[in-house]
Structure 1
Amino acid sequence: MITIKEVARRAQVSSATVSRMLNDSGYVSEEARDRILKVIEETGYVPSENAKSLRTKKTKVIGVVLPKLGSETTSRMVNGLDQVFAEKGYQILLANTNLNASKEIEFIRLLKSRDVEGIVLSATNTSGPLMDEVQKLKIPVVVVGQDLPDTPSVAFNEMMASKDMIEYFIEKKHEKIAFIGVSESDRAVGVLRKQGYLSAMEEHGLRIEEHWIQTAVFDVESGYQAMQNIMEHSKKRPTAVFAVTDRLAIGAMNYIKQAGLRIPKDIALAGVGASELSQYVTPSLTTVDFHYHKAGQEAANMILAQINQEDIPNDKMVLDYRLVKKDSV
């Protein structure tokens, strides 16, 4: 296998000159550059990435900590990341926490030990230990989906999106509106989306029955169970239900249908995520479309700016949304 020394010998230059040209790290005369390029073309020499990373201290790898690989919203965000990083010659190393908050810290430490150049963290919680771990990082980091103090982030306008969906229900003459949420350890999904619901209901003077608010986990079965709890324990049946993810909404939809009720005539229903499945269930699901692909792109650009020691014009980005009004409302 040809080495950099052999390239230098054939081009009649020093190994240091070849290295400077390959890494674009110093002056190389046009004459020497032409001879080196000719030798590389003739021999098919390819620089060793391992050796190059040792010399430059750059691995060209970005760690990405994800809550759940099977999630469509996660997939869209990762596609946005990969599009930008691939264009700049970077690879991504994925770590899946499977919604286990303790694994977020574990994977942050693991990725740092692998000498990644930066970390994109799609966090499920904003606990003190996680924030402490992020603050200790000596490499660029960007959080997607949550807003951590003193850390660059790309978040979504969760509260307003939720509030607007409740306003849409009210516009359609619904006053008895139930809510299926998740644990408040997830500030974005568990706290802010709930605050949007409560704020809209309060502003319109609408009463909330005790069992209209249910807490679930991130899957279809949990949405089914939450809807069953609403129906079986509420004194008054709601005419509309807002679930904080499409999966939860589809679980609720299954229960409503099995109970012999019609959507939206008996109960209107909406979710969040604009998943592909939301278009194909019957009736098609009204939902909130957050721009997850763009979030990935913006997070990648933020990381690269930090790596290149460039100023970030806005290191606390909040992306907009749109209501996707379908047949379930």
Structure 2
Amino acid sequence: MITINDIAKLAEVSRTTVSRVINNSGYVSAKSRKRVMDVIEETGFVPSQHAQSLRTKQTKIIGVILPKISTDTSSRTVRGMTDVFEKIGYQILLTSTNLDKKKEIEHLKLLQNRQVDGIILIATNTDRDLIEEIEKSKVPVVVIGQEIVGKPRIPSVVFDDYAAACSMTELLIEKGRRNIGYIGVDTSDRAVGLLRKQGYLDVMAKHGLDVQKEWIQTGDFSIDSGYEAAARMVEASTEDIDAVFAATDRMGLGAWKYIRNRGLRIPEDTAVVGIGSSETSRFIEPALTTIEYEFEKAGREGAETLLEILQGGKKVSDKKTLDFKLESRDSL
């Protein structure tokens, strides 16, 4: 087995010079660097990752905590991170909380024990216990999807959820819809549960439109919960619902299914819209009107923010807000 000492002898340089070339640290003359690289290429030498970690105190591994590993949102966000990390030799270690808030804290601790260089958390809540755990973390943490309000030392990458919900509600009203129901999630999720709901309510109030309490229902992100929420809404309402606005595409797909099963036409009788621009939303007929988020970009921004911290570069801003695009399709 070829070692660094062997490379040093063959290249006629010191062991330190070889180490500097491999780790890209410290000064090495162009001539010596070329000799070392030539020998490495000729011998097929591969540096030990473990040995490099001991020297640099870096593992070149980034921990990523996902709310659910199988969703379109998660896969697209991870794809964006991978685009950044793979180019510079970092690997990703994925964990999934399966939408369990307690596991977000457990996985933060778990990944630190695995000695990752940093952590990216796609968060579903911003409660005090989670914030305290992030602040105690031994490695830098970047949050995607939730703003950590009042905590500038915890950088985040977010979408403008409030503005997105406002835009969608405005479009529904512009299209002549007045009895607009809303399917959200628990408000402990500030981005999806609180801000999107508030955008809907504020626009309805701005236009002087009443909202019956039965028109606001809560799901759990799943398609089934969207179906059940739409059923509760329509069956309890004293007026005909002419639009259902779901806070996510998956719940929107459930509402879409319920409306069709009830024998109502989409969009003639009832419009159905969502947020997220999932792949499935494009292929149903009629296709789901939605808000498109660039999840790949969120992944890239989160990765680049974490790298800036790890490399000790310029001051990192506490929040990056990404834009959105309204995709008007056949369901409205």
Fold conserved between structures, TM > 0.5: yes
Q: Provide the residue aligned with 1:238 in structure 2.
A: 241
Q: Provide the residue aligned with 2:184 in structure 1.
A: 181
Separation in structure 1 between the aligned mates of residue 71 and residue 37 of structure 2, nearest angstrom: 46
Shift of 1:35: 3.6
Q: Provide the residue aligned with 2:121 in structure 1.
A: 121
Question: Secondary structure of the equivalent of 1:120?
Answer: strand
Match of 1:221 among 212, 221, 224: 224
Shift of 1:236: 1.2
Shift of 1:11: 2.9
Separation in structure 1 between the aligned mates of residue 265 and residue 30 of structure 2, nearest angstrom: 76
Aligned residue pairs, count: 329
Q: Provide the residue aligned with 1:293 in structure 2.
A: 296
What are the within-5 Å matches in structure 2 for residues 242-257 of structure 1?
A: 242-257=245-260
Separation in structure 2 between the aligned mates of residue 272 and residue 31 of structure 1, nearest angstrom: 57
Q: Is the 8 A contact 1:209 1:236 kept in 2?
A: no
Letter in 2 for 1:178: G
What are the within-5 Å matches in structure 2 for residues 304-319 of structure 1?
A: 304-312=307-315, 314-319=317-322
CA deviation vs aligned residue, 1:228-266 (integer Å, no higher than 9, x gap): 101111111211110001111111111111111111111
Question: Secondary structure of the equivalent of 2:115?
Answer: coil
Question: Secondary structure of the equivalent of 1:289?
Answer: strand
Q: Provide the residue aligned with 1:16 in structure 2.
A: 16
Distance change in 2, residues 1:129/1:278 (3 Å)? same
TM-score, reference length from structure 2: 0.96
Separation in structure 2 between the aligned mates of residue 252 and residue 118 of structure 1, nearest angstrom: 39
Question: Secondary structure of the equivalent of 2:142?
Answer: strand
Q: Is the 8 A contact 2:104 2:130 kept in 1?
A: yes
Shift of 1:310: 0.9
* Unaligned ranges ≥5, structure 2: none
* Unaligned ranges ≥5, structure 1: none
Shift of 1:13: 3.0
Letter in 1 for 2:264: L
Question: Secondary structure of the equivalent of 1:46?
Answer: coil
Distance change in 2, residues 1:31/1:311 (3 Å)? closer
TM-score, reference length from structure 1: 0.97
Match of 2:305 among 302, 305, 312: 302
The more displaced of 136-145 and 171-180 is 136-145
Separation in structure 1 between the aligned mates of residue 285 and residue 9 of structure 2, nearest angstrom: 71
Match of 1:259 among 248, 262, 286: 262
Shift of 1:313: 5.6
Separation in structure 2 between the aligned mates of residue 252 and residue 12 of structure 1, nearest angstrom: 71
Separation in structure 1 between the aligned mates of residue 74 and residue 315 of structure 2, nearest angstrom: 24
Q: Provide the residue aligned with 2:196 in structure 1.
A: 193
Q: Does residue 75 of structure 2 align to residue 72 of structure 1?
A: no
CA deviation vs aligned residue, 1:194-221 (integer Å, no higher than 9, x gap): 0001000111110011200001111111
Q: Provide the residue aligned with 1:170 in structure 2.
A: 173
Separation in structure 2 between the aligned mates of residue 31 and residue 165 of structure 1, nearest angstrom: 62
Q: Is the 8 A contact 1:181 1:243 kept in 2?
A: yes
Letter in 1 for 2:180: I
Letter in 2 for 1:223: G
Separation in structure 2 between the aligned mates of residue 54 and residue 313 of structure 1, nearest angstrom: 27
The more displaced of 31-40 and 61-70 is 31-40
Letter in 2 for 1:96: S
Q: Is the 8 A contact 1:219 1:247 kept in 2?
A: yes
Q: Provide the residue aligned with 2:281 in structure 1.
A: 278
Shift of 1:111: 0.8
Distance change in 2, residues 1:34/1:172 (3 Å)? closer
